[in-house]
A = this chain, B = another copy of it.
Amino acid sequence: MDSYARDRTFVPPGRPLGVVLAQSRDDVVATMRWASEHRVPVVPRGAGTGLAGGATAVDGCVVLSLARMTAIRELSPQDEIAVVEPGVITADLDRAAREHGLMYAPDPSSYEISTIGGNLATNAGGLRCVKYGVTRDSTLGLEVVLADGRVLNTGRRTMKGVTGYDLTGLFVGSEGTLGVITAATVRLRRAPREMATVAAEFTSLRDAAAAVSAIVAAGCQPSMLELMDRTTLQAIDDWKNIGLEPSTRAMLIAQAEGSADEMAALCGAASFVAVSSTPEEAAELIGIRRLAYQAKERLGQCLVEDVCVPRSVLPEMITTIEEVAARHGVMIATVAHAGDGNVHPVFVFDRGLAEPPEEVWTAADEVFRAALDLGGTLTGEHGVGLLKKRWLGLETGPVAAELHQGIKQVFDPLNILNPGKAI
C-alpha cells in the first residue's frame, strides 16, 4: 500500500486500511456508501503527483484511486468540449483534442503524468495559463459522488450558464474534501496556428522582470512567459551542459502567437536572445524549462513552493527569496510563471533527512509572509494540502475559515472526505 499512501511530498503518510482502485462511478458510489456507513475516512487520489500533501493517506483511511477511470467519454469538436473521467492523463486529453485542431489548455509541469482529477482537485495551473486561465476556467460541469454516495451533476455543457450557485467552481480546488469527481465536462480551445518562441538571457534579474512587464504591456498576449534564476540554470547546466555564460543571472522563455520579432525586441536588455524558426527549435528552447525540476532533484530533496504575487512586484518577490536564502544558508532555486506572478522557490535540502530541516521551514515561513505582504497568496496552483495549513489563517482570516467549515459540514457532515486537508 505504500505507493498509494503518499504524493510527491516528503510528508510521512498515515497507514491506510486499504486501497480501492475504482473503475467506474458505481465503484465510487459503493465505496462512499460503505465509508459513510462505517465512518471510515476516504482519501481520493489521482496519479499522486501533488506537491502539497493533499493525497497523503491518513491513519485508518481507505485510499480511493481514480487512476483507472481513464475514459474520454466524449469529445465534440463542434461544441469544443470533452467529457472525461478523472484518471485521464492531462497530456493525453490535450493530444486527443489536437487531432481536431483543438487543445486542452491547462498544462501543469507534471501534465505528462498528472490526471485531470488531480488537476481539478487542486485547480492546477501550468505554463499556458498566463493566456488561457487555470483548470477552473476550463471546467463547465462535473459528475460528483457525494460523501454519502449520492450522485450530483453540476454545471452544464454550454459556454455560459447561471442557474443556481456555482457548485462546479466550488468543487474545483477543494482538494477532495467535498466530494469525489467521477467525470468532468471541460472546455477545449482552438489550438493556435503559428507560435513564436524566444529565449533570452539576462545579467540581472531586474532586467528580466522588466522584459516580462514590457512583453505583457505591449499586448503580445504570451501563452508562456517563464523565468528561471541562476541557481536553476546552474543545476540544468551541470546536468545537460547548455553552455551557460558565467554572467547570466536569469533566463526568460516566452511564447506567443504570431511573430517573434516584437518579443525579441522587448528583451532589449538581454545579453543573448534566441528565436526559434521551427517547431523543433521551439521545443528545444522550452525543453530547457521542462528540465528544471529534474535538474533540482539531482541536487537533493526538494520542497517545492508556490507563492503568487501581483506581477508588478515580481522583482521584489524574487529578490526577497534570494535574501532569505542567503540569510539562512538555504539553497533556493526559483522558477516563475512570470506572466502570472506565480513563483516556485524550490528549497533543496539534504537527501538523508526525513523532513526539511528547521532552517528550511524558517526560510519558507519568511517567503510566505513576504508574498502575503506584497499582496500575494500562499499558493498559486498547488493547493494547501497538509503542507501549507499552518499559514492558511494568515491569508483567509477567521470569517472565511468559519464559512469553509460551514460548507464542509453541508457536503460532508461525517467529515470522512480527505479529513484534515485544505481548510
Measuring CB to CB, which residues of chain A are less than 8 angstroms from any residue of chain B? 76-81, 101, 122-123, 125, 129-130, 133-134, 136-137, 146, 150-154, 156-167, 169-170, 172-174, 178, 190-193, 213, 216-217, 219, 221, 308-312, 337, 339-342, 375-384, 388, 392, 395-397, 399-400, 403-404, 406-407, 409-411, 422-423
Q: Main secondary structure on chain A at its contact with chain B?
A: loop
Copies of this polypeptide in the complex:
2
Residues in B with CB closer than 8 Å to A166 are: 123, 136, 166, 169-170, 172-174
Cα A382 to Cα B163 with chains together (Å): 9
> Which among B375, B378, B409, B410 is the interface contact of A163 at CB below 8 angstroms?
B378
Select one of B154, B165, B399 contacting A174, CB under 8 A.
Answer: B165
Whether B159 pairs with A122 at a CB distance below 8 angstroms is no
Q: Is the CB of B79 within 8 A of A160?
A: no
Q: Which residues of B contact A422 (CB under 8 A)?
A: 164
Determine which of B152, B162, B399 lies in contact with A382 in the assembled complex, contact meaning CB atoms within 8 Å. B162
Residues of B contacting A154 in the complex (Cβ-Cβ under 8 angstroms):
400
Contacts of A219 in B (CB 8 A): 101, 190-193
A381 touches B311 (CB 8 A): no
The distance in angstroms between the C-alpha atoms of A161 and B124, with both chains bound, is 10
Partner of A380, one of B123, B153, B162, B340: B162
CB closest chain-B residue, reference A151: B399
Contact check, A165 vs B81: say whether CB atoms are below 8 A apart. Answer: no
Residues of B within 8 A of A160 (CB): 125, 129, 134, 308, 337, 340-342, 377, 380-381
> For residue A130, which residues in chain B have a CB less than 8 angstroms away from its CB?
159
Provide the residues of chain B in CB contact with A309, threshold 8 Å.
158
Cross-chain contact of A159 among B174, B311, B397 (Cβ < 8 A): B311
A417 to chain B, nearest CB (A): 13
Closest B residue to A193 by beta carbon equals: B219
The reply to whether B340 and A395 contact each other, CB–CB distance below 8 Å, is no
Inter-subunit contact B78/A396 (CB<8 Å): no
Smallest CB separation, A134 vs chain B (Å): 6
Which residues of chain B are near A162, meaning CB under 8 Å?
Answer: 122-123, 134, 173, 377, 379-384
Q: For the complex, give the distance between the alpha carbons of A409 and B403 in Å.
A: 11
Residues of B within 8 A of A399 (CB): 146, 150-152
Shortest 3 CB-CB distances between A and B: which pairs? A406-B410, A169-B169, A78-B312
The answer for the CA separation of A59 and B172 in the assembled complex, in Å, is 38
Rounded to whole angstroms, the CA-CA distance of A85 and B244 in the bound complex is 50
Residues on B with C-beta less than 8 A from A379 are 161-163
B213 touches A78 (CB 8 A): yes
Contact status B164-A396, CB under 8 Å:
yes
Could you tell me the distance between the alpha carbons of A410 and B378 in the complex, rounded to whole angstroms? 26
